[in-house]
């Protein structure tokens, strides 16, 4: 018995020691290393593009010897993680509100969107993902609200990125000369046809590829990237779409090469890499070689959109949008989702 209790004591001590060894504190990287490292925190989609841009960047004089530490995940989660103390030098999020969260925390400068690019580092447009051969012949926004058409869209309540789709659905009615009332009616009808509201864009794509629904509300860059990864689906670019502008910024206390990195991302070379993974370049004159694999038409990967809405010009900016459309209590989109749910009762 005595021996056993001693053994227990010893085991307990060993356990305690092991625990204390696990405790954080021994950050092994030296100061010198850290000043030459760029911590990228971003939403999941641009990972491939950023990797290629980083490779090109290290070939330039400014980027020589620079190391990268990256973390990718859902946009909102990543933004909250940085606000909670995750180390970041450069952030790249799906929606600007994820950057303004960091501005409110004092981590990003107030004038982050004052440059020529207005804080935008990558762009895309809203498209419809359809089944192979487009059996339901879906081409326009009007086709989406026909009876019997089943829509899959990520849930705007739990996915910041999904808000682009909902806004596009509302805005296209207005741009066609409809009233706000008609636009609200359209959105209500739209959500009545929604059969699945997965939590994220990734889950929505998975559900769609798993056989759910006829239409997937998607983004052009994700549709192209999916095709490049051989899990593609056909996509249709509607006559009226919304310009998606993904925000990027460097933090106040970013490491020394971070500014050069941001400049490089915005340069023609950086934008070319974005284009090759399906994003639309932020300037029209970027030369990406003319073909993009995985696009509906690889030799004309980014066809002109008939009417391209933007959040700033057609919706009065994100602040306006957040309260009018996505307020938890009485946001227009959330009410539409709610109404569709209630009618199912």
Q: What are phi and psi of 245, to 5 degrees?
A: -120, 110
- CB closer to another protein, 207 vs 237: 207
Q: Does 131 bind another protein (CB under 8 A)?
A: no
Residue 316 vs residues 122, 170, 325: alpha-carbon distances, Å: 20, 14, 12
CA–CA separation, 95 and 43 (whole Å): 10
With binding defined as CB under 8 A, does residue 157 bind another protein? yes
Total residues interacting with another protein, rule: CB under 8 A:
39
Least distance CB 224 / another protein (angstroms): 23
Cα atoms found within 13 Å of the Cα of residue 269, Cβ hemisphere only: 13
Cα 330 from chain centroid? 25
CB 139 within 8 A of CB 149: no
321 belongs to the binding site for another protein (CB under 8 A): no
CB of 260 to another protein, least distance (A): 32
Cα dist from 73 to 70, 162, 200, 201, 288, whole Å: 10, 15, 11, 11, 27
- In this structure, what token pair is assigned to residue 157? 């309540």
For another protein, which residue of 73, 101, 123, 259 counts as binding (CB under 8 A)?
101
Q: Which stretch binds another protein (CB under 8 A): 2-10, 49-57, 168-176, 273-281?
A: 2-10
Among 60, 70, 206, 228, binds another protein (CB under 8 A): 206
- Which residues in 207-226 contact another protein (CB under 8 A)? 207, 210-213
66 vs 102 by CB, closer to another protein: 102
Which parts of this chain interact with another protein (CB under 8 A)? 1-2, 5-6, 8-9, 12, 15-16, 76, 80, 101, 155, 157-160, 194-199, 203, 206-207, 210-213, 326, 328, 337-338, 340-342, 344-345
């Amino acid at each position: 018995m005595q021996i056993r209790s001693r053994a227990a004591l010893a085991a307990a001590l060993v356990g305690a020691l092991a625990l204390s060894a696990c405790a954080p504190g021994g950050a092994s990287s030296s100061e010198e290393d850290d000043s030459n490292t760029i911590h990228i925190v971003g939403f999941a989609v641009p990972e491939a593009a950023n990797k290629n841009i980083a490779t090109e960047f290290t070939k330039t004089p400014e980027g020589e010897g620079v190391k990268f530490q990256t973390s990718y995940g859902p946009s909102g989660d990543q933004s909250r993680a940085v606000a909670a103390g995750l180390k970041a030098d450069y952030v790249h999020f799906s929606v600007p509100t994820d950057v303004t969260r960091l501005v409110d925390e004092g981590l990003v400068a107030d004038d982050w969107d004052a440059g020529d690019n207005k804080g935008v580092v990558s762009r895309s447009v809203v498209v419809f993902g359809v089944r192979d051969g487009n059996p339901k012949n879906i081409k326009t926004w009007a086709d989406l609200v026909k009876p019997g058409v089943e829509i899959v869209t990520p849930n705007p309540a739990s996915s910041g990125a999904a808000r682009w789709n909902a806004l596009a659905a509302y805005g296209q009615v207005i741009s066609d000369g409809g009233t706000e009332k008609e636009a609200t009616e359209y959105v209500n009808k739209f959500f009545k046809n929604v059969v699945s509201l997965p939590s994220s864009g990734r889950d929505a794509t998975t559900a769609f590829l798993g056989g759910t629904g006829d239409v997937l509300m998607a983004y052009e860059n994700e549709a192209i990237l999916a095709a490049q990864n051989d899990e593609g689906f056909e996509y249709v670019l509607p006559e009226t779409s919304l310009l998606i502008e993904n925000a990027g910024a460097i933090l106040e206390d970013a490491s020394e090469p971070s500014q050069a990195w941001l400049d490089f991302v915005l340069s023609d070379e950086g934008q070319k890499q974005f284009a090759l993974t399906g994003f639309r370049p932020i300037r029209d004159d970027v030369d990406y070689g003319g073909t993009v694999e995985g696009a509906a038409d690889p030799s004309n990967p980014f066809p002109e959109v008939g009417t391209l809405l933007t959040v700033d010009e057609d919706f009065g900016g994100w602040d306006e949008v957040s309260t009018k459309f996505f307020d938890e209590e009485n946001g227009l989109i959330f009410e539409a989702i709610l109404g569709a749910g209630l009618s199912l009762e």
